[in-house]
Amino acid sequence: MHRPAATLFRIAVALAAVVGIYLSTKDGSFTGALVYFTIQSNVVVAVVFAWAAVATACGAGHPPKWLKGGTTLYIAITGLVYNLVLAGQPFQMTATLSGAWELGNQLVHLVTPIAAAVDWLLFDEHRRFRWANALHWLAYPFGYLAFALIRGALLDRYPYPFLDVNTLGYDGMALNVVIYGGAFWLLGLAMVAVDRALPRNAPAVAVPAVPRVAA
């Protein structure tokens, strides 16, 4: 059901993430840009959606539901935090404002989050998430937090203003962690609630041909 459309759409999402990453990092170092949650989450989207596209085309071997759901949540976090909190603020990732960077910025912060959500709503099989998934999905954001803080302490540079201990102090940074962590958990719960409310929606797989029996 929806197999060709789902395959093409997932290829397009993976390509949007790859092009967005390239345009956002081509004036610098890709490995250096991996410090940003934006780039990491788009890398995850590129890999998982390419996997999902191949699996959809073949009719088997889809990514685990927790991984596909987590990928959708993480790229949604990227889009929401950037567009609601960071847009217009100066920080290291926005230092280069070339025309190519502007296009890449739109791809990684707007196009891929929206496209991933559309894919989840239209093509994923629903009623598969558990309420505990909303908590389990926080493992990666908190792992990223630990990485960013350890790196910041060693290099005295923090990737995002709301994690900058030099400006906020540890108490201010900790308050932000509680606020953002709570918001991400609620977003995960909202995803689970929507998933459980939607029709099951058969996965996009090949429909086997019915053998014809001679009369």
* Count of the separate structural domains present in the chain: 1
Check residue 215 and give its pLDDT: 41
The answer to whether position 167 is within a domain reads: yes
Give the structural domain span for 190: 2-197
The answer to whether position 215 is within a domain reads: no
Compute φ and ψ for 207, nearest 5 degrees.
-95, 120
The pTM assigned to this predicted structure is 0.89
The answer to whether position 203 is within a domain reads: no
The answer to whether position 211 is within a domain reads: no
The answer to whether position 140 is within a domain reads: yes
**Local confidence pLDDT in tens for the 215 residues of the chain:** 578 899 999 999 999 999 999 998 887 778 889 999 999 999 999 999 999 999 999 988 999 999 999 999 999 999 999 999 988 766 555 555 567 888 999 999 999 999 999 999 999 999 999 999 999 999 999 999 999 999 999 999 999 999 999 999 999 999 999 999 999 999 999 999 999 999 987 655 444 444 454 44
The answer to whether position 12 is within a domain reads: yes
Dihedral Cα 89, 178, 133, 152, nearest 10 deg: 60
The answer to whether position 48 is within a domain reads: yes
The answer to whether position 206 is within a domain reads: no
The runs of H, that is alpha helices, within 26-87 are: 30-33, 37-58, 65-81
